[in-house]
Chain A
Amino acid sequence: MPIIEARGLARTFTSRKRTVHAVRGVDLTVEAGEIVGFLGPNGAGKTTTLRMLTTLLEPTAGTATVAGADLRRNPLEVRRRIGYVPQAIGQTMGGTDPECLVQEELLDQAALYRIGRADAAARAAALTAQLDLGGLDQRPVKTLSGGQRRRLEIALGLVHQPPLVFLDEPTTGLDPQSRSNLWEHIRGLRSDLGTTVFLTTHYLDEADALCDRVFIIDNGVTVASGTPDELKRQVSGDVVTLAVNGAHDKARELLARQPIVADVAVAEDGGLRLSVVNGAEALPALLRVLDDAGITLASINLSRPTLDDVFLTMTGRSLRDDSPSAAASGQPESQPAGEE
């Protein structure tokens, strides 16, 4: 059974005779153990959907089962079974009190879930170890670094060992080093604790690097879902550009005959530009063909469509346009995932 199953989830806001359809109909299926990303430009309905799934906002239509409980009929049971980490910038901060001690925050949070003192202390100790917060127990939250504070906020969402945790913009506002560090921790939630992670993000590189699957929401409806690779392939194939030493025409003829090559064109700089379905698999084959024909390469480059290309195709908007922070992340989108 999927851990999140939403059908036609919708929310309208009515104010002063104006009706705003913030979310028109969101369908989501998330399997246990997945890390899923929820992408959308500002105002697409991303936050509204997350607030509905976490019981902060009542849907006006649709149905959803979250962690085995009916969202509309039994929101209290949903709250018992999910963890939630609010976003740390914007309208609200991440949910910790600057004056509280780290240990107090963890124990208070455990008390909210009615976890006994001994268990709570054990959970707090395990989480501080898991999230690299060791030795910070007696520190006030306000003295933590941005990354430490974010990890504490995530620890709070995990105190009751929920099978499913919602992370709202988990790395927004962190420096690149803290971001990749946090990615490791988020991967660890799944691999070490078996937690399903549902996160929203503005960063396409984050979705690419971290998520097994992404949902794209635009105008209040989910417009696409799939693994980052699937989505990119739907948009366009990979592009291999290469230059050979001499034998230019022979190379072009030879490559055009290969079944894995969909199209060969001459690039502006005189090199060859090949469209292939899966560049990573095509490269070795192409190299072998050229080598067998005795043609030597001067250069070769593989570029893959980015999630931003996907985004642009699906929504008609570039996610980067409305999120200056994504451009500031210092990660060029054309880099393949995994190297970051």
Chain B
Amino acid sequence: MSFIHDTLIVFRREMRLSLRNPAWVVIVLVQPVLYLVLFGPLLTRLPAGALGGSVAAGTPAGAAAAYRFFVPGLLIQLGLFGSMFVGFAIISDWRGGVIERFRVTPVSRLAVMSGRVLRDTIVLVVQAVVLVLVSLAFGLRAPVSAVLISLGFIVLVAVGLASVSYATALTVKSEDAFAPMLNSVIVPLVLLSGILLPMTLAPGWLQGVARISPFRYIIDAMREAFAGHYANTIMLEGVLVAVGLAVVCLVLGSRVFVRENA
């Protein structure tokens, strides 16, 4: 199919350019470890029960429970920060005339986005795998199927967020406008999604507000998976929200890229 062929051309080009930058490669690999090393130790010292578990803090079982709580949040945080920021690169590509050059060739205009999104998704999955592996060394104990389910969620989140990031960046076409937009979206999302602390600690009104964050549902579903629960309404909600998010974002993104004057 020509669309897949075109996507792979763009993907190959973007991946090659990314890998050529050693700083980028180091940051991609070190970033998940940093989150874990700088924040993980705090969690394992929380009083028993604070994270919803019932095992004592300071014990290996307590650490495992803490990481089962913490790792899903970190995975989503990686996605939020990683995928939402990809749009910056397309502003410089647009300014460099690269986007315009591609748009005058017979290549699918949608592939200009999808090839990049594919690169970003693969990068995020690699980061997620690194994060999970390092967590195992730190004391995480979780079922393999939970990890695979989480990676599935990560793919959906990366596809959705990267598409929206590119579409937004290509619409505003200015780093100066894009940066504050990102901050005003990401910070509330991080706070409301229960990434760092469980939303069950929040007062009722805040829990209500947190329901508007789609990541709240996704993280809850991932935590269920890590706890070994796969078939319940929390999981169903998480899957529906993640798929819905990816589809809506993809459609929004495609419209910007296919429209005549992007």
Residues of A near any B CB (own CB < 8 A): 54-58, 76, 79-80, 82, 84, 86-88, 91-100, 104, 108-109, 111-114, 156
CB-CB nearest in chain A for B17: A99
Residue from B21, B94, B106, B260 within 8 A of A112 (CB atoms): B106
CB of B8, distance to nearest CB on chain A (Å): 9
Report Cα–Cα, A82/B105, bound state, in Å: 8
Q: A79, B95: Cβ atoms under 8 Å? A: no
Residues of A within 8 A of B6 (CB): 112
A-contacting 9-mer, from B96-104, B190-198, B202-210, B213-221: B96-104
Q: A97, B104: Cβ atoms under 8 Å? A: no
A interface, by DSSP: helix, strand, loop or mixed?
loop
Residue from B5, B20, B98, B106 within 8 A of A79 (CB atoms): B106
Task: Given A97-B17, A99-B17, answer yes or no on A55-B104 (Cβ-Cβ < 8 Å).
Answer: yes
Residues of A within 8 A of B98 (CB): 95-97
Q: How many A-B residue pairs have CB under 8 A?
A: 71
Q: B102, A92: Cβ atoms under 8 Å? A: no
Residues of B within 8 A of A91 (CB): 95
For the complex of A and B, 9 pairs with smallest distance between CB atoms: A95-B101, A95-B97, A92-B97, A84-B104, A86-B97, A112-B105, A112-B107, A93-B96, A93-B97
Render B71-97 as a binary contact track against A, CB cut-off 8 A, 1 for contact.
000000000000000000000011111
23 examples of A-B residue contacts, CB within 8 angstroms: A56-B260, A57-B260, A58-B260, A79-B106, A82-B104, A84-B101, A84-B104, A86-B101, A92-B95, A92-B100, A94-B96, A95-B97, A95-B101, A96-B97, A97-B17, A97-B93, A97-B98, A99-B20, A99-B21, A108-B9, A112-B6, A112-B105, A112-B107
Q: Determine if B16 is an interface residue (Cβ-Cβ < 8 Å).
A: yes
CB-CB nearest in chain B for A141: B96
Q: Determine if B232 is an interface residue (Cβ-Cβ < 8 Å).
A: no
Task: Given A86-B100, A92-B100, answer yes or no on A76-B21 (Cβ-Cβ < 8 Å).
Answer: no
Report Cα–Cα, A92/B96, bound state, in Å: 5
Residues of A within 8 A of B105 (CB): 79, 109, 112-113
Report Cα–Cα, A199/B93, bound state, in Å: 23
Q: A57, B17: Cβ atoms under 8 Å? A: no
Most chain A CB within 10 A, of B16, B100, B101, B103, is at B101
Residues of A within 8 A of B16 (CB): 104
Task: Given A100-B17, A111-B9, answer yes or no on A56-B104 (Cβ-Cβ < 8 Å).
Answer: yes
Q: A92, B107: Cβ atoms under 8 Å? A: no
Residue from B21, B96, B103 within 8 A of A97 (CB atoms): B96
Report Cα–Cα, A293/B86, bound state, in Å: 82
Residues of A within 8 A of B95 (CB): 91-93
Most chain B CB within 10 A, of A57, A76, A79, is at A79
The number of chain B residues with a CB under 8 A from chain A is 24
CB of B258, distance to nearest CB on chain A (Å): 12
Residues of B within 8 A of A80 (CB): 106
Q: Determine if B184 is an interface residue (Cβ-Cβ < 8 Å).
A: no
Interface residues of B in 102-121 (CB under 8 A from A): 102-107
CB-CB nearest in chain B for A76: B106
Q: B104, A79: Cβ atoms under 8 Å? A: yes
CB of A329, distance to nearest CB on chain B (Å): 23
Q: B106, A114: Cβ atoms under 8 Å? A: yes
Q: Determine if B13 is an interface residue (Cβ-Cβ < 8 Å).
A: yes
Residues of B within 8 A of A96 (CB): 96-98
Residues of B within 8 A of A108 (CB): 9, 13
Report Cα–Cα, A84/B21, bound state, in Å: 29
Residues of A within 8 A of B9 (CB): 108, 111-112
CB of B94, distance to nearest CB on chain A (Å): 7
CB-CB nearest in chain B for A109: B105
CB of A170, distance to nearest CB on chain B (Å): 13
CB-CB nearest in chain B for A91: B95
Most chain B CB within 10 A, of A56, A88, A111, A112, is at A112
CB of B71, distance to nearest CB on chain A (Å): 34
CB of B212, distance to nearest CB on chain A (Å): 31
Residues of A within 8 A of B102 (CB): 112
CB-CB nearest in chain A for B6: A112
Report Cα–Cα, A96/B95, bound state, in Å: 10
Most chain B CB within 10 A, of A58, A86, A91, A156, is at A86
Render B117-143 as a binary contact track against A, CB cut-off 8 A, 1 for contact.
000000000000000000000000000
Q: B104, A156: Cβ atoms under 8 Å? A: no
Q: A92, B13: Cβ atoms under 8 Å? A: no
CB of A259, distance to nearest CB on chain B (Å): 53
CB of B168, distance to nearest CB on chain A (Å): 19
Report Cα–Cα, A181/B21, bound state, in Å: 34
Report Cα–Cα, A105/B21, bound state, in Å: 17
Residues of B within 8 A of A86 (CB): 97, 100-101
Report Cα–Cα, A93/B100, bound state, in Å: 10
Report Cα–Cα, A91/B98, bound state, in Å: 12
Residues of B within 8 A of A111 (CB): 9
Interface residues of B in 3-25 (CB under 8 A from A): 5-6, 9, 13, 16-17, 20-21
Report Cα–Cα, A74/B6, bound state, in Å: 19
Report Cα–Cα, A98/B103, bound state, in Å: 19
11 further interface pairs, Cβ-Cβ under 8 Å (given A84-B104, A109-B105): A79-B105, A86-B97, A93-B96, A95-B98, A97-B93, A100-B13, A104-B13, A108-B13, A109-B101, A112-B105, A112-B107
